[in-house]
Structure 1
Amino acid sequence: MATLADPDRSELTALWAGALGGDRAPLERRLAGASRLPGPRANLELAARFADLVGATADDGRGAAVELLGGWLAGPPSDPGLPEGGEEFLAACAALAAGSVAAGSAADAADRLLTAAAVDDRWRVREMAATGMQRVLRADWSAGLRAVRAWLRSGEPLEVRAAVAAVAEPPLLKEAGHAEEAVEVVEAAVDLLLATPSGRRADDDVRVLRKALGYAVSVVAVAHPDAGLPLLERLATSTDSDARWIARQNLTKARLAPFADRLAGAREAAAQPR
């Protein structure tokens, strides 16, 4: 099935209103048809516009909105004839839109949807859960950070990964206090990974967490060098092979160029076989 052109705002608004009224199938077909899946890149622009629209839902419609989004995350859509990739795209849209709902009203139900999306088997859905949490952090850093810390406390590698991905976003870290708290989140995630028994380190969910830490440490280190660079140096000099892998991955990032002299020792240490 050929990819359809994106719906304009008026069409998307009408389709969303119809879905809230109980007729979900036309919206599902329209979003799925413009998803660009199963290609290499989903239609993230459409997902973002849809999330904006959902976030603007009136208070008396938010319960129905959360229920609809939860349906897309939990099971098949109402239309069984969607094109390939359509069901996954709807779930990803639901994850991002849940962030918009949570940002607008701090709804517990929307937070639960984000958590469910964070541990979804589909990587696109997990990615949108983290991006959805960034919408919460952007609207209310304190509220978002409470949710991020709940993900950390779970100890579940995919939830921890979502916490890391949510805070490792440079535009969110312009305030020094936010940046320092982001370092704390990433360092806590590092500690959880390194405390994982060696027999579990090769599990898929743990590897997904390790991969996220392979870029996130440098993001938060640049935002708050006083707290972040020591973390990077600690990883580089660790006897743990995963810690040094995380250090090596981060030390290749161009964003660390201003700290090249300070990190010379860390680069040398991370490269040493142990």
Structure 2
Amino acid sequence: MAESVDETTATDDELERSWRRALDGDAHGWERRLAADSRLPGPRANLELAHRVADLAQRTPPERRADALQLLRRWLTDEPDLPEPHREYLAAVAALSVGAIIAAEPDPDAAALLDEATADPRWRVRELAATGLQRVLAVEWDRGLRQAHAWLLAGPLPTRAAVAAVAEPALLRDPRHAAEAASVVERAVDVLLAVPAASRRDPDVRVLRQALGYAVSVIAAADPDSGVPLLERLATSTDADARWVARENLTKARLRPLADRLVVARDALSRP
């Protein structure tokens, strides 16, 4: 009977039972059901289901945490015997769930798995790794911020994950959080601009550039005193990628309330 459960519409109790069986070593049937309800291939993965699994991970009792991490490590390393993109979905769910475990309690093994997920070649895994860190930031901002700063030192893809994690308006209502997020994004800009010109077309670097193309406006809207000077710095730069980042951000509707403060940046971009 359990094999017929639609995981998208399963009750919390049904999902809880599936999670416990998976932790006990009986994961194969549940993995197939999660994969079947992933909505992949398709334009949008089933994020609601991913978050429900992450909620289960976050509530895992301390004595079962090692079992949970073993299961999530299995998903991240593509061990389930499933076709793509279903393996990618489980890996992305695992990245989010690892972040949820860290949100519940610091765990070095979980942190190492989340670090690995930020550099995964699959974009959905990287995206949900960043979302996983947002769970940590929501529970304990300072601890999540330390993780984000560590990612800034780990290469373009982890840097992109740090940017995506902190550039979330719901997390930036506290002025201190907004200012500290601005610092992360500004350091990520430094990472991008430090890449030699010959390497700027590297796919990982382009992914970072793309993230900065929206994140600067998020932190500018939350903390204009940090974000507006950063936009001016980018717009007045002679670096083509810096100017591209400024131009992309200045198209965002969230900056309309700051129109009077963005004259310098807009004027700089209007000149060749």
Question: Shorter-chain TM-score category?
Answer: over 0.9
Q: Residue 53 of structure 2: which of 50, 54, 57 is its match? A: 50
- Tell whether the 8 Å contact from 1:236 to 1:243 is kept in structure 2 after alignment: yes
- AA partner of residue 231 (structure 2): L
Q: What is the CA deviation profile of residues 176-201 of structure 1, one whole-angstrom value per residue up to 9, with x for unaligned ones?
A: 11110000000000011101100110
Note if 1:163 corresponds to 2:162: yes
CA distance in 1, matches of 2:225, 2:84: 48
- AA partner of residue 141 (structure 2): W
Match of 2:129 in 1: 129
- AA partner of residue 45 (structure 2): A
Q: RMSD in angstroms over aligned alpha carbons?
A: 1.1
Q: Residue 66 of structure 1: which of 69, 72, 76 is its match? A: 69
Q: What is the CA deviation profile of residues 1-43 of structure 1, one whole-angstrom value per residue up to 9, with x for unaligned ones?
A: xxx5613222211111111001110110111010000010000
- Tell whether the 8 Å contact from 2:7 to 2:34 is kept in structure 1 after alignment: no
Note if 1:17 corresponds to 2:20: yes
Secondary structure of the residue aligned to 2:198 is: helix
CA distance in 2, matches of 1:173, 1:266: 23
CA distance in 2, matches of 1:68, 1:225: 43
Note if 1:40 corresponds to 2:39: no
Secondary structure of the residue aligned to 1:153 is: coil
Structure 2: where are the runs of 5+ without partners? 1-5
Match of 1:147 in 2: 147
- AA partner of residue 90 (structure 1): L
CA distance in 2, matches of 1:50, 1:163: 23
- AA partner of residue 194 (structure 1): L
- Tell whether the 8 Å contact from 1:248 to 1:271 is kept in structure 2 after alignment: no
Match of 1:93 in 2: 93
Percent identity reads 59
- Tell whether the 8 Å contact from 2:7 to 2:15 is kept in structure 1 after alignment: no
TM-score, length-normalised on structure 1?
0.95
CA distance in 2, matches of 1:54, 1:246: 37
C-alpha deviation, 1:218, in angstroms: 0.5
Residues 209-224 of structure 1: matches in 2 within 5 Å? Answer: 209-224=208-223
- Tell whether the 8 Å contact from 2:7 to 2:33 is kept in structure 1 after alignment: no
C-alpha deviation, 1:114, in angstroms: 1.0
C-alpha deviation, 1:268, in angstroms: 2.3
CA distance change for structure 1 residues 134 and 86 in 2, over 3 Å: closer, same or farther? Answer: same
C-alpha deviation, 1:83, in angstroms: 5.3
CA distance in 2, matches of 1:112, 1:105: 14
C-alpha deviation, 1:84, in angstroms: 4.5
Secondary structure of the residue aligned to 2:195 is: coil
Match of 1:201 in 2: 200
Secondary structure of the residue aligned to 2:261 is: coil
C-alpha deviation, 1:113, in angstroms: 1.2
